[in-house]
Structure formats: structure tokens, C-alpha cells
Structure 1
Amino acid sequence: MQILLQAATLVPASIPSPDWSGFDIPLPWGTLRIHAYALCILAGIMVGLWLTSVRWARRGAPEGSVWDIVIWAIPFGIIGGRLYHVVSSPDQYFGPGFDGTGDLWLIPQIQRGGLGIWGAVVLGVLGAWIGCRRAGVKLTAFLDAAAPGLLLAQAVGRWGNYFNQELFGSPTTLPWGLQIDANNPNFPAGMPADTLFHPTFLYESLWNIAGVLILLALDRRFNFRRARLFWLYAMYYTLGRVWIEAMRIDEAEQINLFGITTRLNVWTSIFVFIAALVVFILVGMKGRPEPDTPYLEGRGPGADKAEDEAKEEAREVAGADAVAPSPGVRDTDSRVSDSESRDNLPDIQNGSGHPSTPTEEEPASMSGNKPVTDASETGNSRHQATESAPEAGTSK
């Protein structure tokens, strides 16, 4: 019992505020500040890509295509996330009520924090679509493979809010309350310096990690297709984001709908959840795709070979058409019958250059089998042959 009490005294009664937020790299013209927030985002991207690449390879996708896709999806996602953050929290950029007292130069300074997940997902999907088209694969197949990895990336990236000491929740007395430096610009004015706050970054990180395990288990059981796992991801994340977002006390755009005024992100989460649920049901009514392949039509394995064979067949057909005889023209094939060749030869004996058909007497007289009974007839025949020989020699 005494050991347990001593161990309990070693457990901190709160989560301490970080005493490190990055480091500087000396350069000839100054220093380059590497923020812990950026490192967390980068680490999230790396682990998310690792899980996505493993799942993508198991789908039978072409090797290396995941990099062809994310090279478009990541930049689009970062830009979209920043734009959504600026729209949902415009005061520091445009001033309260857009009175022009804000600082527009803060918009590109992502290292200070501020990425809205909804903008990141929308533009990230657009970038992924471009990459998928170029790689010859289906966007829906990639979204199913990437859904758990996306949630894992968010779980790791959320720790960037801890190092920036931002986006925390309302005050709490729970033992896992979060300490915030009283001199930090994000510390709420008018509150005691030892006030503890709900660590909403930790709540969301744990929620997302649990979601990764749930999505993997559901996909193993049901083997989702047509981006249904992605819509499950959207439903799960928004379900947790509603209650986590409602706990935060940082400044955000307030929207009044149906007589209820709350943060823009809360309403966005509700609408995204409903939309994802509807799409999930409608897509499920279509059944599994046939064939079940991540490739676009005509871009799968063997498509290039089939295309080459089709081109070769087309060339053969074109070649056969080129040598085909025209109507009314005698076939020039070399395989002509001997009888036809002889019929077309000139008649050498009668000196005529025109083709002639041998008579019945000519074969008999030339065969030598018929006995000669008339000497004068024989002599005349020899005389005719002698006179006709020079003429036959000049005919072609």
C-alpha cells in the first residue's frame, strides 16, 4: 500500500506546459527557426503515408503510385487547411468585423499554427483526384486505403497544438488538466495563473487513434469498397469533433442556426456527419464494384500489352487492305495454274504473237506416235518447218 502511495505522488496532477517549441538552425544570413508544430505535422504525414502505402499495396495497386498521388494531395491539403482556418477565424487576419485592423501577412505563416481539417480534406481530395488520374487508378479505391492513415496523421499532428499552447478547452480541476504559461498570448485574460484547462488536443488524438483501430477492424470484417470506408472515417471523426470542439474556448467564428449559436466547426461537423451517412448508405446499395480493382478502365496490368496487340492487328488489317486486288483485276498471286500459264503463252509454231489453243491434230503430230504414210506429206512438213523457223525466232 505504501508503494502505491509513493507511486501516486510521482504522477503529476496535471499536464505541464511545454518548455520547448522548436530550435534554430544558424545560417550565414541569420537563423532558420524549426517549429515543433511543423515537426508534428511532418511526423503525422509520414506515419499516415506509411499506413496508406501498406494498405494501398495490399489492394494490388501499381508500385510507387502512392507517391504520384500524395505529391498532389499534400500541397493541396495544406493550402485548403490554411484557407479554412483563415475563414473560420478571421479576426487576427482581417480584424474584428473585417475592419481592416488585422495582419494579412500572418496568413502564409503556417508555422504559427492554424490548419482547418475540412479545408484540408476537400482540397486534399481534389489533389488526390489529379494524382489518381495521372496514375491510372480509382480515387474511391485510394480513399478507402487512405482513410485510416489520414486519421492516424491527424492523431499525431494534433500534438502540434500542445507545443504551441493553443486550442485548449475550458478550465478544469481534473488531474489531467493542461497547464498554460500565464505569459502566453493564448492564455485567457482575467484567469488565475494556475488555472488548468481541458487538453482537447489529447482528447482528439486519443479519439483518432481509437478510430484508426476501429476502421481497420471494420474494413477487415466487411472489406469496404467505393470509398465507403472514407465516409465511415468522416462520420467517426465528426462525431468526436462535435463534443471536442464544443469544449474549446479559443476565438472562432460563431454561427446561429435554428436558434442555436455555436462555433462554425461544430455546425460543419454536424452537416458533414449527415452528408457522410447519406452517401455511405447510398453507395452501399450499389454493391461491390465489378471487377474489384483499383485500376481505371483500360489502365490495369496487361492493358499496355493488349493495346499493343490491338495496334499490331490494326496494322496487319491495314496491310492486307493495301495489297488486296481491285475489282475486275486478275489476281496477281504467283500461284497460277500451269494450264493457265500455257494458255497465255504465244503460239511459237504458227508464228502468231496471240495466245492460241492447241488443236487436236497438233498434239498428235508432235507426239511422234502416229506413223507417216505419205512421203510427200512428210517432206512438205519438213519444208514448212524449215521456212517457219526464222520467223519463230523473231517473235517474242
Structure 2
Amino acid sequence: MNFSLGVIDPIAFSLGGLQVHWYGVIIGCAVLLALYLAVSEGKKRQVPADDFYDYILWALPLALISARAYYVIFQWQYYQNDLSEIYRIWDGGIAIYGGLLGALLVLVIFCRKKQLSAWLFLDIISPTVILAQGIGRWGNFINQEAHGEVVSHAFLTSLHLPGFIIEQMNINGIYYQPTFLYESVWDILGFVILMLLRHRKHLFKRGEIFLTYVAWYSFGRFFIEGMRTDSLMLGALRVSQWLSVILFIGAIILLAYRRYYRPNEPWYLAGNVEYEGELK
């Protein structure tokens, strides 16, 4: 790792002519940690480990494609002039919302083929997904992207940030708001809350952990996205802000509807068991 001039080298190491970026290393480690935690929880909820391994094999490549497609669609004015740029993912340009939507589509199809409750599967992986998102934002930190507006060195110092974060926010002599850090903290806080609450009896019914995750993430993302300067725009708001509003409202409505109009939904702690009534 190169710390010259206070800036972290985005290249972790090289294998022959292949350069491995820290962004990929961080994302890879985040996915592996999320998978490990999901498998551990799945055993308690009667979901075989193989189901998680099979799902990740399908979801990862399709999530990457959808994350890139999401970005390209809203930046088409740029990419239409040189279609070869569409494939140059290593130059940046993937959207987490696009990846999540792609992974969700794969999950619904996967669970239907496996005859497994998609709601239960989503409940199990939701805390691990938001943890992976929080860790993944440090890849943006290494790449000096997903930042906010120009700020002063004194402002960053006032946040009591470590020196290496402050210096990495120095891009070509200008300091920027560390919005990557705000989202990382928000995501990890959401992970901690979900992990502390999800094993409490008679708290979450099936699907409610996932919907809580959606509401939590989209609420924070709306405000943090508003601070960023590199976001995709759609009218007066950023694309991710519009989507955050839709997801937040949708999650709250679904939470209320399923709780009050579908009272026989099984509790999350019942796991992969169909039944009606109270958790024994």
C-alpha cells in the first residue's frame, strides 16, 4: 500500500499484468463475511447452507450486471457516444441500488425454485447485506469517490476523524465531505440494531426484518445522497433519492398491511416451518 502524499494507492497488489484494486478486495471480504453470517443464522432457521452458496453464485454476477446497467441507463448521454465504455467497470460507475434490485430479482426466482419462503430468506440475509454495504463504502473511500461538497480542513478536523481519513478526502488539494463515512456508519448502526432485535420473541414476523432494513437504509440514504456531488440526477432530486422515497414509503405501508391484515403470518423465529399461531 502506498501512503505517499497521504493518499492511499487504490491498487492493492499486482499479479503479473493484473492489477487487483483495494475496492474489489474490500467488496470481496464484505461478501464473504455476509455469507458466513447468513449461513450461521440459516442453520438456526432450518435453511441449509447450500441454499446460500447456490444463491450467491447466481446473485453476484447478475447483481454486478444490474448495478452497471442502472448506472449506464442514467448516464446514457455519456455512454451513447462510446459504447465500449459500458464494459469498463474498472474505471468506475456501478450503483448499489441497481445491484440490490438485481440480487432481489434473483432471490425471488431462486426461492420459488427451491420452494423456500423468499420473506424468510430476505430476513436472514438483510442484516448481513447492510453490514456488507457499510464495509463496501470503504472501497469508495480508497477510490476517493462517493464524496460530498468542498469543505475545509478545519471542518474535517472538527469531526475528530483520524488523519488518514482526512488526507484521503484531500483530492487534488481540495478537501471534501466524507459522505462515504456517513453511510458506512449508518449501515453498520443498522446492522447492530437488527442483530440486537431479531432474536426477540414476538417482535418480528416473517418479512419484517427485511422491511425494517429497507426502511432504515432508504431513510438514511435519502439524506446522505443529498450531500453527494457525484450522484445521478433526475429532475430536482438525485435518482437514488427518488428511489429511497419510494422504498421507504413502500416498506412502511407493507409493514403495516402485513401486521394488521395478515395476522397469521409466522414469526421469524419459527424459521423454515409453516404454521399458524404463536411461536412455541
**TM class, shorter-length:** 0.7 to 0.9
Deviation at 1:154, TM superposition (A): 0.5
Give 1:86 shift: 1.5
| In the alignment, structure 1 residue 74 sits paired with structure 2 residue 60 | yes
Matched residues in 2 for 1:132 and 1:17: separation?
44
CA distance in 2, matches of 1:290, 1:201: 37
The correspondence for 1:225, drawn from 202, 205, 230, is 205
**8 A Cα contact 2:10 2:21, kept in partner:** no
Unaligned runs of 5+ in 1: 1-15, 95-99, 183-192, 256-260, 298-396
- Which entry has the higher C-alpha Rg, 1 or 2? 1
Give the superposed CA RMSD.
2.3
Partner of 1:360: none
Distance 1:42 1:240 in 2: 24
Task: Please give the per-residue CA displacement for 1:107-128, whole angstroms capped at 9, x wherever unaligned.
Answer: 2222333322222122211211
Mapped contact 2:182–2:224 kept (Cα < 8 A): yes
Q: Tell me, yes or no, if structure 1 residue 25 matches structure 2 residue 11.
A: no
Partner of residue 254, structure 1:
234
The alignment-based identity, stated in percent, is 31
Q: How many pairs align? A: 256
- Residues 1:213 and 1:85: Cα distance change in structure 2 (over 3 Å): same
| Distance (Å, rounded) in 2 between the aligned partners of 1:124 and 1:249 | 27
Opposite residue 20 of structure 2, the aligned amino acid is I
- TM-aligned CA deviation for residue 168 of structure 1: 0.7
**Alpha-carbon displacement from aligned partner over 1:343-378 (angstroms, at most 9, x marks no partner):** xxxxxxxxxxxxxxxxxxxxxxxxxxxxxxxxxxxx
1:65 deviates by 1.8
Give the letter aligned to residue 249 of structure 1: T
Counterpart residue type for residue 284 of structure 1 = R
Answer 1 or 2: which has greater helix percent. 2
**Cα separation, 1, equivalents of 2:119 and 2:18:** 40
Are 1:273 and 2:251 matched, yes or no?
no
SS at match of 1:24: strand
Q: What secondary structure, in the 3-state scheme, does the structure 2 residue paired with 1:22 have? A: strand
Question: Distance in 1 between the 2:121 and 2:69 partners?
Answer: 24
Give the deviation of 1:47 after TM superposition. Answer: 1.2
Q: Is the 8 Å Cα contact of residues 141 and 225 (structure 1) preserved in structure 2?
A: no
For residues 84-104 of structure 1, give each alpha carbon's deviation from its aligned partner in whole angstroms, at most 9, with x where no partner exists: 12223334323xxxxx3xx32
- Structure 2 distance, partners of 1:288, 1:120, is 32
Aligned match for 1:196, one of 175, 178, 184: 175
Contact residue 266 and residue 274 of structure 2 kept, 8 A: no
State the structure with bigger RCO (CA 8 A, min sep 6), 1 or 2.
2
TM-score if structure 1 supplies the norm length? Answer: 0.60
3-state SS, counterpart of residue 198 of structure 2: helix
Which residue in 2 is equivalent to 1:61? 47
Q: TM-score of the superposition, structure 2-length normalised?
A: 0.83
1:127 is aligned to 106
